[in-house]
A and B are shown apart, each in its own frame.
Chain A
């Protein structure tokens, strides 16, 4: 029977078959079962300990009303509601709010599950893929006629299979806790669905990361899963505290946290939000996208999350497909970069436009532009060909295409330098962002300051991209590392200098050279800003000229060689 099922799995996906064969062994299954059961037991025991704290007068799970004279001489820290612990003559608490206790247990299990799935899963996938890449076994899979999609679906379903198994073992307990807490059963399944989509997104991201970072030799799995852990940790804290909505682009990040579904589940229990204290739905309902409150409605809110996950999972899968078939190519093509930027800017602006007050508008745009800059840095890293590819392009592209159009090649071609394509991506964002400033009733000077901020922000992003492309053409073997160090220094150093000198945005023009000049542009005269603009333009021109010269030299020397041999 077991063999028959395995055989069918193998026919459906050979990679999944291989992972199951390698991992689903009796010893591993026993260990995973023990870990899962111990985990469930620990969560249960911890919360049960909370239930029987005998010495508290007021307690979260008590539902008694305190005696009237108690208000005068006792301050409990709890709201003076029904949290008084009524006890019998033996000291046992007589009325316990078990529904709330089961809800707490349900939420605790949900969060532990999210952490286990996303942190454990990303660690295993990154570690597995980078191991295969370093050892060379991935090359044999590459050479097989299977598609990248089949292989990576197999990896995603198979590599963390023991974690899936451990989580599946916890599901009966989780559902029981949910039912006893009166959480709507369909909502529990909807939560599982959102978690599956979040796994697809995080796992695709870790596979991409595993493929591009195999040179980090074993450290990358800790780094990658560490980043996921940090993200989940922060997202859990802000979600639990009820500050999940910040009314700017950060809300978009929060939507990548599957636990953001939990307020809907808590709400379905009909327990008073003040009694539950955390995961308040009212907070999530404040979130707006282009002024629309999608999160007022469970289905539109969840639908948005699923679409968001699906969209970015799709783009990640495109990068994965490219990189799988050719490990030396850029992660994405130039054409794909325009699609990614279009999706990114449309979503980002939707979350920026949540506040109308002048101060918040500026703050939201600054944060939104910070997000844009992150995108451009990621695009620069994913789109910039390295030295070998650039040399090949300079030397041989004329042979491969007789009617070569340089402009078209720089905008759409493979292996060509990325600078013009990045410039086009930045220009798209600027063109999309600037008109939105006129939607706000803020004064003219602030508007002009913000427009300059957006333009200068674009310019500095282009400068970073140009320098990165320049660094990636260096002869040194560690060119990626040097590019990273240079870029980090360019981003961090101005802030360190300004911090040491205690200079606020209005006090020194160096602020205009930081990664977010928008915080300072309204403080300076147009002349100074223009000067800054020109300086950056000249720097970009200088680096572009340098790289063009070197590429022309490569092309010429090759032409000479061809003529000589001819």
Chain B
């Protein structure tokens, strides 16, 4: 009975790890990690270099064997042997490097992987066309892979990763080395995949991208998962409200008025002319009262807008805190 409940519990998660550890020599790359990711989530994995993100993703993709611990994908135990072809069918893994076959054309390459994942005609042709369109490589379908640019190769790798419609997508630094336009394109693709219902685990150093894409985040440090919760919770707990205020008048007037408001915790002079970034602990009604107060004091306000601290700031601010 207990086992049944446990199974049902694990079944709820797209990813569940228990005591997952990977040790190289004396260095523990992933340490007794307990990770649970709900189905349909986009889970962002962040952390400094050497935190163990790549090792964790490799273990989740069955590309690396854990030293100890267990991994469950959709409630099924993941093992590194030939016993789980069905489970492999449900995984898509894009590593941070993307080796390809230079002697094949784009179409033949995807056709080959579609066949490796047992896609039959006519679904195979339809799916190939779909992913080529999604990654914007339809015009390159008959080109040799050797002739593609880095960005195109990256998109082709993503196309290969999703060709078999995996339910879980593991992306390790997918936007590294891409220019801003290619990164934006990549983000759009991820959004489409999320809408299609895939669970996506993505590691990246570009935190603004993650903030835009993710529903949950995990922060790794020295092999430990020091934080794992929804993005909403994270902002709620750790992100302070900030108000950007610009004035045409004297800064001293503005600053003296701000001092009078008990909800203002401090401010920072931005490098722009007469603009302050104010740390504010009140709610939207309080910020509205602050604006009213400044106007009544005849301070010539030209800009007044509220925002939350971004993910990058939270990450940097956290340091070594273990919060959740």
Contact = CB atoms under 8 A, between A and B. Distances in A.
A143 B101 contact: no
21 contacts: A10-B111, A11-B120, A17-B115, A18-B101, A21-B104, A21-B108, A21-B112, A23-B103, A137-B101, A143-B61, A144-B113, A144-B117, A145-B117, A146-B116, A147-B82, A326-B65, A388-B25, A391-B25, A392-B68, A396-B67, A396-B68
A17 B109 CA distance: 11
Query: Closest 4 A-B residue pairs measured CB to CB?
Result: A145-B85, A14-B115, A144-B116, A136-B99
Nearest to A562: B32
A321 B82 contact: yes
Given A148-B82, A396-B68, A7 B88 contact: no
Interface stretch (B46-54, B89-97, B209-217, B292-300): B89-97
A23 B89 CA distance: 28
B63 A142 contact: yes
Contacts of B112: 10, 14, 17-18, 21
Contacts of B91: 143
A433 B173 CA distance: 59
Nearest to B28: A561
A177 to B, nearest CB: 36
Interface residues of A, number: 35
B104 A143 contact: no
Contacts of A72: none
A400 interface: yes
B238 to A, nearest CB: 26
A278 B292 CA distance: 111
A484 to B, nearest CB: 22
A63 to B, nearest CB: 54
A145 B163 CA distance: 13
B234 interface: no
A280 B111 CA distance: 53
A388 B117 CA distance: 32
Interface string A98-141: 00000000000000000000000000000000000001110111
Interface string A378-398: 000000000110011001100
A326 B80 contact: yes
Interface string A63-82: 00000000000000000000
A143 B157 CA distance: 14
The majority secondary structure among interface residues of chain B is loop
A399 interface: yes
Given A10-B115, A145-B89, A18 B99 contact: no
A325 B80 contact: yes
Contacts of B21: 396
Interface in B40-90: 61-63, 65, 67-68, 80-82, 85-86, 88-89
A145 B108 contact: no
A328 interface: yes
B121 interface: yes
B88 A144 contact: yes
Nearest to A145: B85
A499 interface: no
A22 interface: yes
A328 B95 CA distance: 19
Interface in A1-27: 7, 10-11, 14-15, 17-18, 21-23
Contact of A392 (B67, B104, B120): B67
B23 interface: yes
Contacts of A326: 65, 80-81
A22 B103 contact: yes
A145 B104 CA distance: 22
Contacts of A139: 63, 95
A12 to B, nearest CB: 10
Given A7-B121, A10-B112, A145-B118, 6 more contacts: A140-B99, A140-B160, A144-B117, A145-B89, A326-B65, A387-B25
Nearest to A147: B82
Nearest to B112: A18
Nearest to B88: A145
Nearest to B64: A328
B135 interface: no
Contacts of B24: 388
B66 to A, nearest CB: 10
A17 B116 CA distance: 10
Contacts of A396: 21, 67-68
Interface in A223-246: none
B182 interface: no
Contacts of A141: 116
B148 interface: no
B191 to A, nearest CB: 25
Contacts of A328: 65
B100 interface: yes
Contacts of A146: 85, 116
Contact of B116 (A14, A391, A392): A14
Given A10-B111, A14-B116, A392-B23, A136 B86 contact: no
A127 to B, nearest CB: 14
Interface string A152-192: 00000000000000000000000000000000000000000
A18 B145 CA distance: 14
A135 B99 contact: yes
Nearest to A324: B82
A486 B82 CA distance: 36
Contact of A325 (B82, B89, B101, B117): B82
Contacts of A325: 80-82
A541 to B, nearest CB: 28
A269 B13 CA distance: 73
Interface in A318-332: 321, 325-326, 328
A21 B145 CA distance: 13
A147 B113 CA distance: 14
Given A18-B104, A388-B24, A143 B63 contact: yes
A321 B81 CA distance: 9
B68 A143 contact: no
A326 to B, nearest CB: 5
Interface in B266-317: none
Interface in A252-270: none
A566 to B, nearest CB: 11
Interface string B221-250: 000000000000000000000000000000
A495 to B, nearest CB: 38
B23 A136 contact: no
Interface string A186-220: 00000000000000000000000000000000000
A359 to B, nearest CB: 51
Contacts of A144: 88, 113, 116-117
Contacts of A142: 63
A391 B67 CA distance: 10
A28 to B, nearest CB: 10
A359 B103 CA distance: 60
Contacts of A321: 82
Interface in A336-366: none
Interface in A386-417: 387-388, 391-392, 395-396, 399-400
